[in-house]
Amino acid sequence: MMTSVSFLLLGLSLVTSADAAFRFASYYGDHMVLQQQPSSAVIWGYGELGSQVTVSLIRGLETISKITVAANGEGVWRVQLPPMEYGGPYHLVAQQFAQNISSIHLVDILFGDVWLCSGQSNMEMTVSQMFNASEELKMAADYPYIRLFVAALVQSQTELRDLARVDLPWSLPSAENLGHGDFSYFSAVCWVFGRHLARRLRYPIGLVESSWGGTPVEAWSSKTALKKCGLSGDSGELTESFQFFDTAAGPCEYSVLWNAMIHPLLNMTIKGAIWYQGEQNTAMNTDLYNCTFPALISDWRHSFNEGSHSQTDPNFPFGFVQLSTYQKSQQKDNYPVIRWHQTADYGYVPNPKMPNTFMAVAMDLGDEKSPYGSVHPRDKETVGYRLYLGACAIAYGEKDIPFQGPYPVYIDVYYEYMYMNITYDQQLVIAGSFDNIFEVLCKSSSGESYEWLPIAASFLSVSDKVITVPFVWCSALGVRYAWDDWPCDYKQCPIYSAQQQLPASLFVKYFT
């Protein structure tokens, strides 16, 4: 039950520590959200070597928990709070008993769900850069139980214990915090996602942003994860200086953002993560993304679980945005290849290689006139909402909420009649043109090469869940859908779900 009980302490003197070594780690502060039950929140900080540190969780006049530990040989202390029901506010008091007694305290602490938001520039885009920004900024004050935190842009060649810098310490939402500056703080996708969750769940949501534009998946991956995909973890494997859409890329060296912007967070207990990244990998290790991205998810899960002493779920929910668009005139297929690889080449999630994941399809949200470049579409409301639907289903177990667009469940090929029936898993709603969005793989007349041939809309037929595709020019060897950088105009892809109007994702199917 949410309350607003004010803080009173009797008989305890709170003295600001004169010893700068006695402090909480960088990502604890006033106004923070800690992960609620059944998990326990981990609290840690720094003190004198061997000193005794007592950490008390207090609500009103009641001490909920009091734990004493010793600072280890590196001057680090750490406690695990008892599992707490959502709500607050609480105060957290840490006392160090050494040559002198020092006290530090944090106020206005809430328990709820903590979500990590990471990726590159489309995750970085602030609320002020999205469509309907003024309306969104006005709503900030309506969500005092959402709290925001942003890690600063830092890279490191070695794994850091703590964040080197913080851009936004734990704060309540405000127009300034949500729209601080272009590609600064706060993430529009992260905010919209959290706003929808807070409205539905009616308890505190903590949003932790750690993102950097123009960065590849390899920079966010540990050396352990990279080795699973045949990459040594040695940045010497990079042979090019990558440029990203006519601007200098962010750090592309292997593991430098894992080291500085993810590894320091591992002691934090979190509910889950959302991710918007992949554009940089259309020009870097593209063909490895079907390994590197699932490996990142698996490694983050293991590492957060280990770092929090098993308090973060070892299979925590992980949501991501399937890439939007870049250029209408783009002839290369790097974007559809990355979209496909984002699902470990299944076309959908969750799947056996990516359990407990959810995906927001964004290929129908192209924004050719975006002042930030067409690679940065401004409709972050739709992206955040689609991620929210996935979280409701996957993270919160709501069985009856639609969260995915239609996907083929089987394809019947009738070679004697030269057509195929593609049957989807749900009723279809048709929004845009089918012209050339389906392609059939054909063998050349010489039999030595293969070619994808587009199918004109006039040849297609649609009924309920079935789309009939002809292949009158060849003996079909495969079929694919929306295999293009810019497959359709804004919200005008042809196939959507009847519920929630969610777009069908691209797919490719080869016939044996």
pLDDT, averaged across the chain: 91
d(CA 342, CA 291) in angstroms, rounded, equals: 9
Cβ atoms of residues 55 and 92 within 8 Å: yes
pTM for the full predicted model? 0.93
Give the model's confidence band at 472: pLDDT under 50 very low, under 70 low, under 90 confident, else very high: confident
Mean pLDDT in residue range 88-94: 97
Least confident residue range of 54-68, 216-230, 320-334: 320-334
Give the model's confidence band at 473: pLDDT under 50 very low, under 70 low, under 90 confident, else very high: confident
Contacts of 395 (CB under 8 A, 6+ apart): 271, 272, 317, 319, 358
- Best CA proximity match to 351, nearest among 361, 339, 359, 362: 359
Least confident residue range of 330-344, 350-364, 398-412: 330-344
Higher pLDDT, 450 or 89: 89
Sign of the dihedral through C-alpha 464, 470, 476, 477: negative
**DSSP at 447:** S
pLDDT of residue 1: 41
Torsion of CA 475, 477, 479, 485, to 10 degrees: -110
**DSSP at 334:** H
d(CA 157, CA 223) in angstroms, rounded, equals: 11
Q: Which residue has the tokens 């955040």?
A: 384
**CB < 8 Å & 24+ apart, contacts of 60-69:** 60/5, 60/6, 60/7, 60/8, 61/8, 61/10, 64/90
d(CA 279, CA 275) in angstroms, rounded, equals: 12
> Cα 204 from chain centroid?
19
Residue 446: is its pLDDT beyond 80? no
Tokens of 179: 């729209």
- Best CA proximity match to 324, nearest among 133, 136, 208, 493: 493
pLDDT of residue 375: 94
Cβ atoms of residues 59 and 294 within 8 Å: no
- Best CA proximity match to 245, nearest among 363, 335, 151: 335
Query: Looking at the chain, how many residues does it have?
Result: 512
φ and ψ of 295, to 5 deg: -65, -40
Residue 10: is its pLDDT beyond 50? no
**DSSP at 354:** B
When mean pLDDT is compared over 134-138, 339-343, 425-429, the highest value belongs to 339-343
Mean pLDDT in residue range 298-316: 98
pLDDT of residue 459: 82
Same topology for domains 23-110 and 111-394, yes or no?
no
- Best CA proximity match to 484, nearest among 432, 436, 431: 436
Each residue's pLDDT tens digit, 42-56: 999 999 998 999 999
Give the model's confidence band at 332: pLDDT under 50 very low, under 70 low, under 90 confident, else very high: low
Query: Which class in CATH covers the domain with range 23-110?
Result: mainly beta
Residue 17: is its pLDDT beyond 70? no
Each residue's pLDDT tens digit, 269-279: 999 999 999 99
Contacts of 236 (CB under 8 A, 6+ apart): none
Each residue's pLDDT tens digit, 203-256: 999 999 999 999 999 999 999 999 999 998 676 565 444 444 445 579 999 999
Q: Report the percentage of the chain scoring pLDDT > 70.
A: 92
SS3 13: coil
Each residue's pLDDT tens digit, 389-438: 999 999 999 998 999 999 999 999 998 889 999 999 999 999 988 999 99
Domain locations in the chain? 23-110, 111-394, 408-510
Q: What is the CATH number of domain 111-394?
A: 3.40.50.1110
pLDDT of residue 15: 34
